[in-house]
Structure 1
Amino acid sequence: MTHDDKPGKTMIGTGRAAALAAGLALLLVLAGCGSDDESPSTNTEKASPDEKKAAMADARTIRERVIGNTVTGTMSPDSAYTEFYAADGSIHGASYEARWTIEDDQLCFDYDESPQIDCYGVKIDGESVEWHRQDEVQGKGTLVEGNPNNF
Protein backbone atom coordinates (compact mmCIF):
# COMPACT_ATOMS: atom_id res chain seq x y z
CA MET A 1 0.00 0.00 0.00
CA THR A 2 1.43 3.42 -0.96
CA HIS A 3 1.12 6.59 1.08
CA ASP A 4 -1.80 7.76 -1.12
CA ASP A 5 -3.70 4.51 -0.63
CA LYS A 6 -3.99 4.72 3.17
CA PRO A 7 -7.46 3.87 4.42
CA GLY A 8 -9.40 6.94 5.49
CA LYS A 9 -7.57 9.37 3.20
CA THR A 10 -10.47 9.34 0.75
CA MET A 11 -12.93 9.78 3.60
CA ILE A 12 -11.03 12.83 4.88
CA GLY A 13 -10.86 14.31 1.35
CA THR A 14 -14.57 13.66 0.81
CA GLY A 15 -15.41 15.20 4.17
CA ARG A 16 -13.42 18.33 3.37
CA ALA A 17 -15.03 18.60 -0.05
CA ALA A 18 -18.50 18.25 1.48
CA ALA A 19 -17.71 20.87 4.12
CA LEU A 20 -16.35 23.22 1.45
CA ALA A 21 -19.46 22.70 -0.71
CA ALA A 22 -21.75 23.33 2.26
CA GLY A 23 -19.82 26.49 3.18
CA LEU A 24 -19.99 27.75 -0.39
CA ALA A 25 -23.73 27.09 -0.55
CA LEU A 26 -24.21 28.99 2.71
CA LEU A 27 -22.23 31.96 1.38
CA LEU A 28 -24.33 32.02 -1.80
CA VAL A 29 -27.56 31.99 0.21
CA LEU A 30 -26.30 34.73 2.54
CA ALA A 31 -25.22 36.81 -0.45
CA GLY A 32 -28.62 36.31 -2.06
CA CYS A 33 -27.18 34.67 -5.17
CA GLY A 34 -29.26 31.54 -4.84
CA SER A 35 -32.56 33.25 -4.18
CA ASP A 36 -35.36 34.41 -6.44
CA ASP A 37 -36.58 36.71 -3.65
CA GLU A 38 -34.57 39.86 -4.28
CA SER A 39 -35.46 43.00 -2.39
CA PRO A 40 -37.03 45.84 -4.39
CA SER A 41 -34.26 48.22 -3.32
CA THR A 42 -31.67 46.21 -5.25
CA ASN A 43 -33.87 45.12 -8.16
CA THR A 44 -35.67 47.95 -9.98
CA GLU A 45 -37.52 45.44 -12.17
CA LYS A 46 -39.57 44.40 -9.12
CA ALA A 47 -39.69 47.82 -7.46
CA SER A 48 -43.01 49.55 -6.95
CA PRO A 49 -43.67 52.77 -8.91
CA ASP A 50 -42.97 54.80 -5.74
CA GLU A 51 -39.64 53.00 -5.21
CA LYS A 52 -38.68 53.51 -8.87
CA LYS A 53 -39.50 57.21 -8.57
CA ALA A 54 -37.39 57.39 -5.41
CA ALA A 55 -34.41 56.14 -7.44
CA MET A 56 -34.87 59.01 -9.91
CA ALA A 57 -33.23 62.38 -9.33
CA ASP A 58 -35.46 65.18 -8.08
CA ALA A 59 -35.56 68.66 -9.67
CA ARG A 60 -32.88 70.00 -7.31
CA THR A 61 -30.49 67.12 -8.09
CA ILE A 62 -31.10 67.45 -11.85
CA ARG A 63 -30.32 71.17 -11.62
CA GLU A 64 -27.17 70.57 -9.54
CA ARG A 65 -25.75 67.65 -11.52
CA VAL A 66 -26.89 68.12 -15.14
CA ILE A 67 -27.38 71.84 -15.68
CA GLY A 68 -24.13 73.62 -16.48
CA ASN A 69 -22.60 70.35 -17.65
CA THR A 70 -22.38 68.18 -20.74
CA VAL A 71 -23.88 64.73 -21.27
CA THR A 72 -22.59 62.42 -23.98
CA GLY A 73 -24.37 59.15 -24.77
CA THR A 74 -27.00 57.41 -26.89
CA MET A 75 -30.78 57.49 -27.06
CA SER A 76 -30.89 54.37 -29.22
CA PRO A 77 -28.19 52.12 -30.59
CA ASP A 78 -27.68 54.43 -33.57
CA SER A 79 -28.43 57.84 -32.05
CA ALA A 80 -25.38 59.29 -30.32
CA TYR A 81 -25.43 62.77 -28.79
CA THR A 82 -23.26 65.21 -26.90
CA GLU A 83 -25.10 68.17 -25.38
CA PHE A 84 -24.28 71.04 -23.06
CA TYR A 85 -27.18 72.12 -20.83
CA ALA A 86 -26.70 75.85 -20.17
CA ALA A 87 -28.14 77.56 -17.09
CA ASP A 88 -30.29 79.82 -19.32
CA GLY A 89 -32.42 76.86 -20.47
CA SER A 90 -30.62 76.30 -23.76
CA ILE A 91 -29.17 73.05 -25.04
CA HIS A 92 -26.11 73.23 -27.29
CA GLY A 93 -25.07 70.33 -29.53
CA ALA A 94 -22.46 70.13 -32.27
CA SER A 95 -24.76 71.54 -34.97
CA TYR A 96 -28.03 72.47 -33.21
CA GLU A 97 -29.62 74.23 -30.28
CA ALA A 98 -32.72 73.38 -28.29
CA ARG A 99 -34.37 74.23 -24.95
CA TRP A 100 -34.66 72.40 -21.62
CA THR A 101 -37.03 72.79 -18.67
CA ILE A 102 -37.55 70.86 -15.46
CA GLU A 103 -41.13 69.78 -14.78
CA ASP A 104 -42.30 67.44 -12.01
CA ASP A 105 -38.78 66.12 -11.32
CA GLN A 106 -38.24 65.39 -15.01
CA LEU A 107 -35.90 67.00 -17.51
CA CYS A 108 -37.84 68.06 -20.60
CA PHE A 109 -36.37 68.68 -24.05
CA ASP A 110 -37.80 70.92 -26.77
CA TYR A 111 -36.08 70.30 -30.11
CA ASP A 112 -37.29 72.29 -33.13
CA GLU A 113 -37.62 69.17 -35.30
CA SER A 114 -39.71 67.33 -32.69
CA PRO A 115 -43.48 67.87 -32.72
CA GLN A 116 -43.66 67.63 -28.92
CA ILE A 117 -41.65 68.30 -25.78
CA ASP A 118 -40.17 65.06 -24.42
CA CYS A 119 -39.74 64.67 -20.65
CA TYR A 120 -37.61 62.05 -18.92
CA GLY A 121 -36.99 60.92 -15.39
CA VAL A 122 -33.28 61.14 -14.70
CA LYS A 123 -31.32 58.51 -12.83
CA ILE A 124 -27.82 59.59 -11.87
CA ASP A 125 -25.23 57.18 -10.49
CA GLY A 126 -21.82 58.81 -10.18
CA GLU A 127 -21.09 60.10 -13.68
CA SER A 128 -23.65 57.79 -15.36
CA VAL A 129 -27.02 59.15 -16.47
CA GLU A 130 -30.10 57.23 -17.59
CA TRP A 131 -33.12 58.85 -19.23
CA HIS A 132 -36.36 57.07 -18.21
CA ARG A 133 -39.87 57.29 -19.64
CA GLN A 134 -42.80 55.03 -18.72
CA ASP A 135 -40.57 52.96 -16.42
CA GLU A 136 -38.16 52.10 -19.24
CA VAL A 137 -34.62 53.28 -19.97
CA GLN A 138 -34.76 55.36 -23.16
CA GLY A 139 -31.12 56.43 -23.24
CA LYS A 140 -27.84 56.49 -21.36
CA GLY A 141 -25.01 58.92 -21.03
CA THR A 142 -22.02 60.14 -19.10
CA LEU A 143 -21.84 63.46 -17.26
CA VAL A 144 -18.85 65.60 -18.18
CA GLU A 145 -18.15 68.69 -16.11
CA GLY A 146 -18.71 72.03 -17.81
CA ASN A 147 -18.69 72.64 -21.57
CA PRO A 148 -15.45 70.98 -22.77
CA ASN A 149 -16.59 71.11 -26.43
CA ASN A 150 -17.23 74.87 -26.27
CA PHE A 151 -20.72 74.52 -27.66
Structure 2
Amino acid sequence: MLLALSAVALVSGCDSDDESDSSEASTEDGASSGTVSAERIRARIIGNTVGGTMSPDSSYTEYYAEDGTIHGPGYEAEWRIDGDRMCFDYDEAPQADCYDVRIDGDSVSWRRDGETEGRGTIVEGNPNNF
Protein backbone atom coordinates (compact mmCIF):
# COMPACT_ATOMS: atom_id res chain seq x y z
CA MET A 1 0.00 0.00 0.00
CA LEU A 2 2.78 2.46 0.91
CA LEU A 3 4.61 1.61 -2.32
CA ALA A 4 1.45 2.37 -4.34
CA LEU A 5 1.01 5.74 -2.62
CA SER A 6 4.67 6.61 -3.26
CA ALA A 7 4.25 5.75 -6.93
CA VAL A 8 1.15 7.97 -7.16
CA ALA A 9 3.02 10.82 -5.47
CA LEU A 10 5.92 10.48 -7.89
CA VAL A 11 3.66 10.40 -10.93
CA SER A 12 1.56 13.34 -9.78
CA GLY A 13 4.71 15.33 -9.03
CA CYS A 14 5.88 14.87 -12.62
CA ASP A 15 2.76 16.27 -14.22
CA SER A 16 3.26 19.70 -15.74
CA ASP A 17 0.75 22.31 -16.66
CA ASP A 18 1.19 25.25 -19.00
CA GLU A 19 2.25 27.44 -16.09
CA SER A 20 5.40 25.47 -15.39
CA ASP A 21 8.63 26.09 -17.18
CA SER A 22 10.87 23.62 -18.86
CA SER A 23 14.11 22.60 -17.23
CA GLU A 24 15.64 25.48 -19.22
CA ALA A 25 14.78 27.95 -16.45
CA SER A 26 15.47 25.71 -13.49
CA THR A 27 18.76 24.21 -14.67
CA GLU A 28 20.29 27.26 -16.35
CA ASP A 29 19.04 29.86 -13.92
CA GLY A 30 18.31 27.94 -10.71
CA ALA A 31 15.03 29.78 -10.25
CA SER A 32 12.67 27.62 -8.25
CA SER A 33 9.69 29.76 -9.29
CA GLY A 34 10.36 28.99 -12.95
CA THR A 35 11.24 32.59 -13.71
CA VAL A 36 14.47 33.32 -15.51
CA SER A 37 17.39 35.56 -14.61
CA ALA A 38 18.23 38.98 -16.03
CA GLU A 39 20.99 37.33 -18.08
CA ARG A 40 18.55 34.86 -19.60
CA ILE A 41 16.02 37.62 -20.37
CA ARG A 42 18.77 39.57 -22.10
CA ALA A 43 19.94 36.53 -24.08
CA ARG A 44 16.48 35.38 -25.26
CA ILE A 45 14.31 38.52 -25.49
CA ILE A 46 16.61 41.43 -26.30
CA GLY A 47 17.36 41.78 -30.00
CA ASN A 48 14.30 39.69 -30.83
CA THR A 49 10.59 40.11 -31.49
CA VAL A 50 7.82 38.77 -29.25
CA GLY A 51 4.22 38.48 -30.40
CA GLY A 52 1.32 37.30 -28.29
CA THR A 53 -1.54 38.42 -26.08
CA MET A 54 -1.87 40.22 -22.78
CA SER A 55 -4.82 39.59 -20.50
CA PRO A 56 -7.63 39.70 -21.15
CA ASP A 57 -7.50 39.88 -24.95
CA SER A 58 -5.13 42.51 -26.34
CA SER A 59 -2.53 41.32 -28.83
CA TYR A 60 0.96 42.70 -29.36
CA THR A 61 4.01 42.29 -31.56
CA GLU A 62 7.12 44.11 -30.40
CA TYR A 63 10.81 44.21 -31.19
CA TYR A 64 13.06 44.79 -28.15
CA ALA A 65 16.13 46.66 -29.41
CA GLU A 66 19.43 46.47 -27.57
CA ASP A 67 19.34 50.25 -26.94
CA GLY A 68 16.36 49.89 -24.56
CA THR A 69 13.66 50.81 -27.04
CA ILE A 70 10.54 48.85 -27.94
CA HIS A 71 9.36 49.05 -31.54
CA GLY A 72 5.79 48.08 -32.38
CA PRO A 73 3.45 48.77 -35.28
CA GLY A 74 3.24 52.58 -35.24
CA TYR A 75 4.71 53.21 -31.77
CA GLU A 76 7.88 53.16 -29.69
CA ALA A 77 8.36 52.68 -25.97
CA GLU A 78 11.16 51.69 -23.59
CA TRP A 79 12.18 48.53 -21.78
CA ARG A 80 14.59 47.91 -18.92
CA ILE A 81 15.62 45.01 -16.75
CA ASP A 82 15.13 45.57 -13.02
CA GLY A 83 16.61 42.73 -10.99
CA ASP A 84 15.28 39.60 -12.70
CA ARG A 85 12.18 41.34 -14.07
CA MET A 86 11.55 42.99 -17.42
CA CYS A 87 9.88 46.40 -17.29
CA PHE A 88 7.94 48.17 -20.03
CA ASP A 89 7.38 51.93 -20.13
CA TYR A 90 4.72 53.14 -22.56
CA ASP A 91 3.91 56.86 -22.82
CA GLU A 92 0.25 56.42 -21.86
CA ALA A 93 1.03 54.45 -18.68
CA PRO A 94 1.58 56.38 -15.43
CA GLN A 95 4.49 54.08 -14.54
CA ALA A 96 6.45 51.18 -15.98
CA ASP A 97 4.95 47.69 -15.73
CA CYS A 98 7.42 45.06 -14.53
CA TYR A 99 7.01 41.31 -14.98
CA ASP A 100 8.72 38.11 -13.94
CA VAL A 101 9.57 36.19 -17.09
CA ARG A 102 9.22 32.50 -17.82
CA ILE A 103 10.74 31.07 -20.98
CA ASP A 104 10.08 27.61 -22.37
CA GLY A 105 11.72 27.14 -25.75
CA ASP A 106 10.34 29.98 -27.88
CA SER A 107 7.38 30.60 -25.55
CA VAL A 108 7.42 33.39 -23.00
CA SER A 109 4.99 34.26 -20.24
CA TRP A 110 4.82 37.55 -18.40
CA ARG A 111 3.93 37.12 -14.71
CA ARG A 112 3.11 39.56 -11.93
CA ASP A 113 2.08 38.75 -8.36
CA GLY A 114 2.14 35.03 -9.18
CA GLU A 115 -0.34 35.35 -12.06
CA THR A 116 0.31 35.03 -15.78
CA GLU A 117 -0.78 38.28 -17.43
CA GLY A 118 0.47 37.60 -20.93
CA ARG A 119 2.01 35.07 -23.26
CA GLY A 120 4.02 35.27 -26.42
CA THR A 121 6.31 33.62 -28.90
CA ILE A 122 9.91 34.71 -29.40
CA VAL A 123 10.94 35.22 -33.02
CA GLU A 124 14.59 35.82 -33.83
CA GLY A 125 15.56 39.32 -34.89
CA ASN A 126 13.21 41.99 -36.25
CA PRO A 127 11.32 40.24 -39.09
CA ASN A 128 8.66 43.00 -39.22
CA ASN A 129 11.29 45.72 -39.68
CA PHE A 130 9.92 47.81 -36.82
| TM-score, length-scaled by structure 2 | 0.79
RMSD of aligned residue pairs (Cα, Å):
2.6
Mapped to 2, the partners of 1:102 and 1:72 lie a distance apart of: 19
The question of 1:66 aligning with 2:82 is answered: no
Letter in 1 for 2:95: Q
Mapped to 1, the partners of 2:115 and 2:129 lie a distance apart of: 32
Residue number among 55, 63, 71 corresponding to 1:84 in the alignment: 63
Residue number among 67, 71, 92 corresponding to 1:113 in the alignment: 92
Mapped to 1, the partners of 2:51 and 2:86 lie a distance apart of: 15
Letter in 1 for 2:32: E
User: Which aligned runs of 4 or more in structure 1 are off by greater than 6 angstroms?
Assistant: none
Is the alpha carbon distance of 1:30 and 1:136 closer, same or farther for their aligned partners in structure 2, counting shifts above 3 Å?
closer
Q: Secondary structure at the match of 2:32?
A: helix
Mapped to 2, the partners of 1:141 and 1:98 lie a distance apart of: 18
Decide which structure has the larger Cα Rg and report it: 1
Mapped to 2, the partners of 1:113 and 1:98 lie a distance apart of: 10
The runs of 5 or more residues in structure 2 that have no matched partner are: 21-30
Number of residues paired by the alignment? 115
Q: Identity over aligned residues, as a percent?
A: 57
Is the alpha carbon distance of 1:116 and 1:30 closer, same or farther for their aligned partners in structure 2, counting shifts above 3 Å?
closer
Q: Larger helix proportion, structure 1 or 2? A: 1
Which residue in the other structure is 2:32 paired with?
51
Q: Secondary structure at the match of 1:148?
A: coil
Alignment of structure 1 residues 1-150 onto 2, 5 Å: 29=8, 32-33=11-12, 38=13, 51-52=32-33, 55-150=34-129
Mapped to 1, the partners of 2:56 and 2:88 lie a distance apart of: 20
Mapped to 2, the partners of 1:96 and 1:81 lie a distance apart of: 11
The runs of 5 or more residues in structure 1 that have no matched partner are: 1-24
